Chains A and B, each alone.
Chain A
């Protein structure tokens, strides 16, 4: 089974600053997708950003961007200009045809 590792259980960032959340994964497959999901205290999982493994260009979505290093199997999330509403649990996820795995999550706190 594929594994997804988030080595930072908790992170903290000052409002308007930038923070990077780390994620590494292990797979023997060549075709897969990677995602970052956000889960606020309301508990609804919300997709933040996605990356197809076959694309070399890093995905960006407004203030959110990723640093995808396929050879290193690394997929970090950068949040720029952090806002109070960004405070949540962030899950890195790996997805292939027959598998879907989440990392343990990183709890992000945003300080005003």
Chain B
């Protein structure tokens, strides 16, 4: 199984809503990532979890709150977002970082988020 799944596929939310994006992988990968991708732009790294601990936070606003409940799951909690936060949010996983060869990342299909 080399699949990364993400739910929901599409999400429309108001600026006062609270919602969560979910990501799951069962490849035994110990590193998981959140990216934000605007149209016609490359993915921008937001967060990296290694062994369920947050290891990289690319100065992302606090209205985005990541959570890694276990080695297979990664959540992104959203609160008080702005219209400019509308984008495709991609989750990825890889074998590891730091002491292990990072290996290639496997990407999920993404969640298309629209903030109204």
Binding site for A on B (CB under 8 A): 33, 40-43, 45, 48, 55-56, 88, 90, 92, 97-98, 101-110
Main secondary structure of the interface of B (DSSP, over half): loop
Q: Is the interface of A mostly helix, strand, loop or mixed?
A: strand
A45 nearest in chain B by CB position: B107
Instruction: Tell me which residues across on chain B come within 8 A of A102, comparing CB atoms.
Output: 42-43
Interface residues of A in 82-112 (CB under 8 A from B): 91, 95-98, 100-105
Contact yes or no, B56 A98, CB < 8 A: yes
Contacts of B105 in A (CB 8 A): 35, 45, 47, 95, 100
Asked if B43 and A45 make an inter-chain contact with CB atoms under 8 angstroms apart, the answer reads yes
Measured between C-beta atoms, what is the minimum distance from B36 to chain A in Å? 12
30 A-B pairs with C-beta separation under 8 A: A33-B101, A33-B102, A35-B105, A37-B107, A42-B109, A43-B109, A44-B110, A45-B43, A45-B105, A46-B107, A47-B104, A47-B105, A91-B42, A91-B43, A95-B102, A97-B97, A97-B98, A97-B102, A98-B55, A98-B56, A98-B98, A100-B33, A100-B45, A100-B48, A100-B105, A101-B45, A102-B42, A103-B42, A105-B40, A105-B41
